[in-house]
Structures are given as C-alpha cells and as structure tokens.
C-alpha cells in the first residue's frame, strides 16, 4: 500500500525485516524442541540462537534468492552465513517451506488484528461520545432519501456504534480462527518431524497447532479473516455515506471539520467538500477487493498448490494497512464532526408538519375511521403540502371529514416531537447497557 494511506505500526508488521525475524524465530524454536526430544544436538540448537540479535540483510537474501529462485532457501542460506554451515545443518529439519510461510503469515495477521481491534475501540469511543452528546438532538429520518419521521442524531451515532460493536466481535472471532500454526512437513503427516515440535513452536508464538494441515494451513480460515475485513470496510462506508449526504449543501446537518488554511477547490474558493469521507468510501472498495480472491484461495490442488501465494502477498498487507488507516481516519472524522441542530430542525419543518402523517393516520383509525378511509384523508391533505406548499396541520383542521373524527386539540397533539423520541433512553440502554456511562 502506498505511504499516503499507511500508518507505521501496521506497515512494520509487513516489512521484510519483520518477516525474516519471524522466520528465524520459527526455525530457532523448532530447533529447541528438536533438541529437547533428542533429535538434534543441544549445541546446534544453541548455535541458532546466536543470531537472535542479528539484523538480517534483506539485500543479501534477495541476492541469494536471485540464484536459488526460492525465498526460504535464500533465508536459510543467509542464516548459515551468520551461525556457520555446520551449526546450521539441523535447521529446518523435517520441515517444509510452508511450515515457515504459513505460520508466519498467521502471526502477522494476528498482530494486524490486534492493531485493528485497538482502532475499532477508538471508533467505538468516538461514536458513543457523540451519541450521548446528541441523544436528544432531533433530526428527520429519511427512507429512500425522502423525509420519513423524526429521529435523533444520537440514535444515528448509536446505530453505527452497534454495527461497529458487532464488527469488533466478528474480528475477534476471525483473529481467533486465524491464530493457528503448522510445522507438519511436506504433506501434513509429521513423517519427518514430531508433532511436539509444532506444539512448542505454536506455543512460543501465541498460536494453536492447526488440527489437520496438508502442506498448508487450510485457506477457509484466511477467507473468513478477509471477509470480516470486507464487512468492516462496508460499515466504514456506511457511516461515510451518511456523513456525505448530511454535508450536501441543501441538507447541511453535519460537516467534516474544516481546518484553518484548508482549501476545498482549486477553482472555487467557497467549496468545503467532504473529502475525508469520500476517501473512506474509496478505501472501503480497496479492502473489499481482497474478499473474492481470498475466497478463491480456498480451493487448492490436493495437498497444496502455489496459486494462493501471489494473492496473499498482495492482499494481506494491503487490506490490513488500508483498513488500519481507514479506521483511524473515520475516528478522527467522528471526533471532530460539526453538527448543525438548527439546520436539522429547519429541514424537518421544511414540509410544514408533513412528517406527522402516520400519527394522524393512526389517530383516525383509533377514532373509528377505516384504515382505507383514514389513509385517503391523510394523503389528500399531504398532497396539498407537496404540491401547493400548504401547512399540513392547517389543512387537516380545515378538512371536515378529519375534524368529524378528531378534535382540534387531538390534531394539535399529533404534532408533538416528543412523541417520536420517547423511547430513546430504552434504545440507548439496549445499545450501551443499562448503566452505560455517559
């Protein structure tokens, strides 16, 4: 991923230096276990650890790989250059390259998941804070982009919180599922290595042994991991789209923070564009691009082919780096989002009470009017608002069929905004817990 959309901590997980360090640890821990089992001399295992402070030369490994055409062999050759060929002769004993590659990939994905979970905590904290700030800030709810009924800005933040909280649970489950390692040999039978070696290596790396592997760890685990990242990205876009719509000039109920000195357009000095949330929409697309290739990686030939490798070399760093950046950008947008309550009220009143139509409809049916007739009465007065700019309540009060069923006081009462927000506390308790801190 390009530096523009990268953060250092996540990027470091995917650096060649980090990768080779994990490769080294796998080989060293495997030698420890082999020595404990009496398979290799203890002094050879100890010799491997003499390289524990070595900064592996990426350029040198690349140079060797240019000849060997094999990345793991190139690394093992370079390791032998540091500890000596004789001391290195038991390194990688009974193992296959995928034991190193797959176990390393899963270590990296676990570490990436931990960063993403911390990112999500920041997003959740921002959403919760803004939800309580605007719990009672009334705004119009929209369906199909059209005014529906009143809701609150706090409920908008709360539903995004609930969605992200579900995503956090999904990511925790995906992290748990991907946290396996395999040191099982060429086709997963442990023919030339004791299963206890795998158990030791996995324990030292914070993984569980893969219950049954072939030459590789099953790719359904990875498919679920990347699918989860895709869902999280879609939730980011869901929030971003809402903010973008709210920032439209004719709506302007919320706006990305516009910093001093910021410019919106090279041609139009007046512009204040939702560039961050537009960017988040694009980044979400990048993350979702990984999902289908990850699903296609599940079907490999027999005990393994290499078709998955090139895909994962791209999608593993790119999706985690991109999602890390996107989550942090989203958190910043939410934390600084400018809310305009006055504009919310103005927009809600734009159609002069029209959004209270359901309350009037229900009141008429409760007063004995058939639902079909009640719908007809309400709709004919509502159409006067749409087509003539009339005031909805005034039209209802002037309609003899309506006033035959409802008194003026009863009609007036149906325009109380508080009716629509009376259960906000109940919803908040469901989302944040009965005793959730404000």
* Closest to 132 measured CA to CA, from 333, 422, 332, 425: 425
Report the C-alpha gap between 160 and 173 in whole angstroms: 20
Report the C-alpha gap between 165 and 319 in whole angstroms: 20
Report the C-alpha gap between 308 and 316 in whole angstroms: 11
Question: Is the Cβ–Cβ distance between 193 and 184 less than 8 Å?
Answer: yes
Report the C-alpha gap between 313 and 177 in whole angstroms: 20
The residues that bridge with 254 in the sheet, in sequence order, are: 339
Q: Give the containing element (helix H, strand E) for 177.
A: helix 153-178
Residue written as token pair 């639902």: 371
Residue among 15, 70, 265, 407 flagged as catalytic:
265
Question: Is the Cβ–Cβ distance between 309 and 102 less than 8 Å?
Answer: no
Clarify whether 357 is annotated catalytic: no
For 429, the token pair is: 């308790």
For 349, the token pair is: 């009143």
Clarify whether 144 is annotated catalytic: yes
Helices (H), 275-356: 275-288, 291-296, 307-336, 341-348
For 33, the token pair is: 């276990």
Largest CA distance in the chain: 103
CA 267 from chain centre, in angstroms, equals: 35
Residue among 143, 144, 259, 270 flagged as catalytic:
144
* Closest to 329 measured CA to CA, from 183, 126, 64, 135: 126
Per DSSP, the three-state class of 208 is strand
Report the C-alpha gap between 325 and 422 in whole angstroms: 38
Report the C-alpha gap between 99 and 29 in whole angstroms: 13
For 17, the token pair is: 């230096």
Residue written as token pair 């490999």: 300
- Output the DSSP codes for 82-149: HH-TTTTTTTTTT--HHHHHHHHHHHHHHHHHHHHHHHHHHHHHHHHHHHHHTTT-EEEEEETTEEEE
Buried b (16+ CB within 10 A) or exposed e, 338-355: ebbeebbbebbeebebbb
Catalytic residues: 144, 265
């Amino acid at each position: 991923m390009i530096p523009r959309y990268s953060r250092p901590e996540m990027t470091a997980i995917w650096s060649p230096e980090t990768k080779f360090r994990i490769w080294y640890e796998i080989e060293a821990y495997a030698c420890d276990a082999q020595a404990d089992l009496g398979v290799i001399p203890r002094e050879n295992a100890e010799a491997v650890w003499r390289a524990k402070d070595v900064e592996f030369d990426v350029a040198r490994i690349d140079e060797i790989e240019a000849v060997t055409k094999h990345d793991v062999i190139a690394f093992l050759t370079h390791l032998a250059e540091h500890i000596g060929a004789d001391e290195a002769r038991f390194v990688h004993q009974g193992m296959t390259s995928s034991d190193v590659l797959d176990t390393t990939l899963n270590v990296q994905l676990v570490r990436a998941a931990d960063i993403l979970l911390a990112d999500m905590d920041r997003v959740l904290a921002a959403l919760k804070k803004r939800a309580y700030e605007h719990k009672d800030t009334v705004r119009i709810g929209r369906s199909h982009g059209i005014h529906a009924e009143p809701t609150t800005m706090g409920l908008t933040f709360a539903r995004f919180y609930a969605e992200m909280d579900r995503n956090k649970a999904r990511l925790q489950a995906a992290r748990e599922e991907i946290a396996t390692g395999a040191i099982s040999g060429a086709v997963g039978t442990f023919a030339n290595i004791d299963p206890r070696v795998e158990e030791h290596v996995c324990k030292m790396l914070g993984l569980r042994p893969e219950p049954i592997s072939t030459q590789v760890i099953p790719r359904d685990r990875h498919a679920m991991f990347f699918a989860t990242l895709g869902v999280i990205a879609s939730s980011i876009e869901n929030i971003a789209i809402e903010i973008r719509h709210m920032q439209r000039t004719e709506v302007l109920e919320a706006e990305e923070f516009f910093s001093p000195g910021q410019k919106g357009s090279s041609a139009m000095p007046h512009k204040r564009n939702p560039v961050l949330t537009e960017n988040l929409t694009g980044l979400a697309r990048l993350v979702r691009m990984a999902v289908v290739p990850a699903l296609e990686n599940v079907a490999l030939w027999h005990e393994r082919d290499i078709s998955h490798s090139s895909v994962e070399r791209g999608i593993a760093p790119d999706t985690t780096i991109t999602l890390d950046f996107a989550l942090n950008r989203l958190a910043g947008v939410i934390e600084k989002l400018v809310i305009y309550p006055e504009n919310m009220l103005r927009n809600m009143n734009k159609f002069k009470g029209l959004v209270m139509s359901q309350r009037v409809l229900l009141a008429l049916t409760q007063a004995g009017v058939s639902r079909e007739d009640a719908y007809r009465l309400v709709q004919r007065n509502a159409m006067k608002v749409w087509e003539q700019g009339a005031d909805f309540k005034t039209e209802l009060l002037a309609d003899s069929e309506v006033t035959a069923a409802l008194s003026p006081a009863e009609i007036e009462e149906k325009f109380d905004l508080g009716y629509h927000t009376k259960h906000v506390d109940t919803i908040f308790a469901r989302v944040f817990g009965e005793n959730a801190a404000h």
